[in-house]
Amino acid sequence: MRPRWLRAVGITIGALTVCSLFYGHYYSSLVSVARSPQGGVGYDFPSKGLEWIPAVPHGRERNRELAETLRVQRPSKQVPGTCPTSLQLRVKNDSYFKTIFNFEVPLLLWNSHLTENNWDTLSKRPVPYGWKDLPREDVASALKLLNDSANKAMFERQGPQKCIRCAVVGNGGILNGSKKGKEIDGHDYVFRLNGAVIKGFEKDVGTKTSFYGFTVNTMKNSLISYQEHGFTETPKGKDLHYIFIPSDLRDYVMLRSGILGVKVPSGYDEGDKPSEYFGPKPSPKKFKMLHPDFLLYTRDRFLKSDILNTEYASLYMPSTGGLMLLTALHSCDQVSAYGFITPDYNRYSDHYYERQKVPLEFYANHDMLMEMQLWGRLHDRGIIKLYKR
């Protein structure tokens, strides 16, 4: 018979072995690793049915933050379409992009997300990826007005077999002389953004606008910077919807004022009349707002730039055009992109409406070259149709 001390040691070693195997299995199932388009490492997402865990930078110091995100509310389930050529099917069959896309991430923010759990989670992340340092009353008063089913979905499907075709129109100079206007208008929905000049360029960019995407900052800057080129007012129309990108407090404040039809009461835009931007007495159904979780997901999964490792990290976020294109990719069956950066960007002016060629400039708040690589890769894989010349 073995000595008592030897048996005790054996039992202890056996127990430690079982615990380590259990912990290893649990940890690997929680945060299996996926490679980002730039070759960086980010956390993978759980399978369907589990609560979504937003991606966080790799490293031990962020483990606590990962645990704190477990309370994020599940996105609402949507009935999938049966379009035989849906890009979701192509993504599912793509060896690379099926590890990047997650169609369960909440796309739009509306009043159902105004919960204590979401506040606890999002108030720890700075804008645009959360609500840190934002007055709770301003966030809550805006979201309470997004209480219609139209605020939680980009659009309603007309039939189970209907393939939703979307065009996302950037403002790149490549569109000048393209003669793509009729083709663009032939889509079911057309997304435009920022300084979307139409008058005088109808043959190149079309006339139809279903969604206009912006931050309050980019919208107002566009009205100032591109007025001389014909952008004197934001797009308006009976069937047009406005997509707010919540990059700052002013986006929540402007959204609230726009729905209520009152002047902006305070802040950077105090005294502004939202009716000038969205028309008189717009229906609350005309407004949508991207979810901070979706913005975090698009950054960490698709556009995790090296800028995040520099002193300009706090300024960086995907471009407005990039976010609109990714929004369409997560709501439409077929997506065509026009006026986006391509490898021959030096041949064209910065914008299609400039009378003299203006070279494209790069700033630290966006990584346009990384976006260019992403659009090209999505095109090459047949997930989007990117207009090139």
pLDDT averaged per 10 residues in sequence order, the chain, 389 residues: 47 44 35 32 27 34 37 41 85 96 97 95 97 97 95 82 91 98 98 97 98 98 96 95 97 97 95 95 94 98 97 96 98 97 97 95 95 98 97
Torsion angle of alpha carbons 108, 109, 115, 121, nearest 10°? 80
**What is the reported pLDDT for 332?**
96
Q: What is the pLDDT of residue 346?
A: 96
The reply to whether the predicted model has a pTM over 0.75 is yes
Residue 159: the pLDDT is: 64
pLDDT of residue 40: 31
In angstroms, rounded to a whole number, what is the distance separating the alpha carbons of residues 191 and 203?
17
pLDDT of residue 27: 32
Write down the pLDDT at residue 199: 96
First to last CA, the chain: 84
Q: Burial code of 5-31, b = ≥16 C-beta within 10 A, e = fewer? A: eeeeeeeeeeeeeeeeeeeeeeeeeeb
Distance, in Å, from the CA atom of 367 to the CA atom of 2, rounded to the nearest integer, reads: 67
